[in-house]
Amino acid sequence: MAFTKSALLAVIAATSVLLSADAFVAPSTSLKTQTSFGVPKFSPIASSLAEDDVAEAEEADDFIVSAGDLDDEEAGEDDDLVVPEWYAHQLRIKELREQYRRHESDTGSPEYQVAGMTERISYLTKHLKEHPKDFSTRRGLVALVNKRRRLLNYLFREDIDRYQTIVSSMGIRHKAPGRVQSREDKYGRFPPQKVRKGGR
């Protein structure tokens, strides 16, 4: 159950006022005890003392902050709707896997696995750009890329249409086994480094 900051502060202020009103009453005047055979018996508080406590509690209401004074709505801050990055990543993995699922209970098809791995690879790549010395994540990323490559090789051998669909839709750069890449395929993603002379 989530509470807003203003509601919590109002409850704390009201509680502190009630506690402070009871805290300043001397213990000897608030309760009168009688003991008979070692068992304490409490008599009710005198009516004049109870009326004084009620009067003090009514005077303390001036110090209670209303809930509207503490709202963050004017500042445009809403802390409850911020989605953590790890949760958004899990949702993206789930969406991609649903998109490439062959049937309702599919969890092992190559397309399903490649879709999840591709999202994890992009997440880990972004993490490594922020934390370049995280070597265990780097090892995990390399292992994940190799596993995805093996799955894509298998998919290329078994069903080339599904292979082409998933590679083109997800933007995966993959060299199919036994295929020689042309110069454009191999270096097309890099910007040109040299200025060509003579129009070649």
Read off the pLDDT of residues 102-113 as tens digits, 9 standing for 90 and up: 999 999 999 999
- The DSSP code for 172 is -
In angstroms, the CA 21 to CA 49 distance is: 12
Can you give the pLDDT at residue 57?
58
24-28, 118-122, 145-149: the lowest-pLDDT one? 24-28
Can you give the pLDDT at residue 17?
65
Can you give the pLDDT at residue 101?
92
Helical (H) or strand (E) element with 34: strand 32-36
Can you give the pLDDT at residue 30?
46
Query: Is 10 within 8 Å of 67 (Cβ atoms)?
Result: yes
Average pLDDT of span 179-196: 79
Mapping DSSP to helix (H, G, I), strand (E, B) and coil, where does residue 39 land?
strand
Can you give the pLDDT at residue 159?
92
The number of CA neighbours under 13 Å toward the Cβ of 164 is 3
| Residue-wise burial string across 89-103, b where 16 or more C-beta atoms lie within 10 A, e elsewhere | beeebeebbeebeee
Higher pLDDT, 122 or 26: 122
pLDDT at 11 over 50: yes
Q: Residue 63: phi, psi to the nearest 5?
A: -90, -5
pLDDT at 185 over 80: no
Average pLDDT of span 3-7: 73
Task: Dump pLDDT digits (tens) for 30-70.
Answer: 445 555 555 556 655 555 555 666 566 565 555 566 666 66
Domain 85-177: give its CATH code: 1.10.287.10
Task: Dump pLDDT digits (tens) for 124-170.
Answer: 999 999 999 999 999 999 999 999 999 999 999 999 999 999 999 99
In angstroms, the CA 91 to CA 85 distance is: 10
Q: Where are the domains of the chain?
A: 5-81, 85-177
In the chain, % of residues over pLDDT 90: 42
pLDDT at 12 over 50: yes
Q: How long a stretch of residues is the chain?
A: 200
Higher pLDDT, 22 or 118: 118
Can you give the pLDDT at residue 194?
81
* Average pLDDT, rounded, for the chain: 78
Query: Is 120 within 8 Å of 140 (Cβ atoms)?
Result: no
- Residue whose C-alpha is closest to residue 166's, from 149, 183, 152, 145: 152
Q: Helices (DSSP H) in the chain: which residue ranges?
A: 5-23, 27-30, 47-60, 85-99, 110-130, 135-158, 160-170, 183-187
Q: Which residue has the tokens 């000897």?
A: 28
10 Å CB burial of residue 128 (0-12, 13-18, 19+) is middle
10 Å CB burial of residue 155 (0-12, 13-18, 19+) is buried
Q: Which residue has the tokens 């992009």?
A: 122
Would the pTM of this model clear 0.75, i.e. be above it?
no
